[in-house]
Chain A
Amino acid sequence: DIQMTQSPSTLSASVGDRVTITCRASQSISSWLAWYQQKPGKAPKLLIYKASSLESGVPSRFSGSGSGTEFTLTISSLQPDDFATYYCQQYNSYLTFGGGTKVEIK
């Protein structure tokens, strides 16, 4: 099965910062990668699919890139509403999530 590893596990940042989260797959998954945002006590929200396609309604400050085994989620200018935990998910073979990256206030 395919393992997904996210880094860092926690990230401290300020409003306005550019933030980058990395997700690595244990084998190539082409571009079959999604990113979710989850806030405490809430269900995850789909942000990006197919590595770089923005889900409808998601602000353009979110972007994704990568293919094969290495992927990144970038928030160009962190907003107060963006403090949350982010998960990557591969869907090349079944479905596997990364361990999550918590973005906290610096």
Chain B
Amino acid sequence: QVQLQESGPGLVKPSETLSLTCTVSGYSISSGYYWGWIRQPPGKGLEWIGSIYHSGSTYYNPSLKSRVTISVDTSKNQFSLKLSSVTAADTAVYYCARVSVDTAMVPFDIWGQGTMVTVSS
């Protein structure tokens, strides 16, 4: 079955760039579907960050767009998130996920387990 696994540093300094990778197994990213990043600050709700297709087509949350870059590496079956100029407000559990049908703005039905990223000096 399709599985997603987030990886990356658990601690990032303020003003630096947060970088995470999601490795997909059980499905080739090149075969289709949009792949996304969602985050959840401790004790708070969910926030969609952005999504990407295997072709590189992206959609970003307008409130984060100026700081977000999502890219895909089909050769490694991975997609990645970069969030620049981070502050303590970016501290959160970051999830990667796959959409439920092969189009951009639809719900996510397969999720990674999530990775906690703390922004602190």
- Interfacial residues, chain A to chain B (CB-CB below 8 A): 1, 34, 36, 42-46, 49, 55, 87, 89, 91, 93-100
CA A93 to CA B61, docked complex, whole Å: 10
* B114–A91 touching, CB < 8 Å: no
- Contact present for A94 and B111 (CB under 8 Å): no
Please report the C-alpha to C-alpha distance between residue A30 and residue B26 in the assembled complex, in whole angstroms: 34
**Given A43-B95, A96-B48, A97-B47, A34 contacting B112 (CB threshold 8 A):** no
Q: Which range holds the interface residue count of chain B?
A: 20 to 34
How many inter-chain residue pairs (CB < 8 Å) link A and B?
A: 53
Q: Using A43-B95, A43-B112 as known contacts, say yes or no to A94 and B100 having CB atoms under 8 A apart.
A: no
Contact string against A for B residues 27-64, beta-carbon threshold 8 Å, 1 for contact and 0 otherwise: 00000000010000000011110010000000101110
Question: B88 in the interface, Cβ–Cβ < 8 Å?
Answer: no
Given known pairs A43-B113, A44-B111, the reply for A1 and B100 (CB within 8 Å) is no
- A49 and B108 contact, CB distance less than 8 A: no
In the complex, the answer to whether B45 meets A87 with C-beta atoms within 8 Å is yes
Q: How far is the CB of B84 from chain A (nearest CB, A)?
A: 20
Q: Is the CB of A95 within 8 A of B105?
A: yes
